[in-house]
Amino acid sequence: MKHLINTVKIAVNEKTYVKNPESSDLGKRIVQSGIALISEVGFENFNFRKLGARIGSNESSVYRYFENKHKFLIYLSSWYWGWKEYQLVLTTN
């Protein structure tokens, strides 16, 4: 079962990112830390400079994955609803 969960890929529109964040450890850290930072400071006070400091890198690393914070938010919400769709299909199957 654990192997199955690790191989699940939630499809997100490719126009929401420059480089797929699921393709590298840095991308995954950006998403995880971004969610935590938005939760702490709110979306208005969130920026890529703060996110870069949190992940121990500079903000240009984040820009390699996302054009701006709006696209980052769209990516997160698209991924969330894709995950919910997956759960619905799995539950009703």
What's the pLDDT score for residue 7? 74
CATH of 14-92, one of 1.10.10.60, 1.10.30.50, 3.40.630.30, 3.40.50.300: 1.10.10.60
pLDDT band (50, 70, 90) for residue 4: low
10/79 Cα distance (integer angstroms): 6
Where along the chain do its domains lie? 14-92
pLDDT digits (tens, 9 = 90+) for 49-80: 999 999 999 999 999 999 999 999 999 999 99
Residue 12 in contact with residue 18, Cβ under 8 Å? no
Is 0.75 topped by the overall pTM? yes
CB-facing half-sphere around the CA of 90: CA atoms within 13 A: 9
Q: Which of 59, 5, 8 is nearest to 34 (CA)?
A: 59
**Residue 1 identity (one-letter amino acid):** M
Share of the chain above pLDDT 70, in %: 94
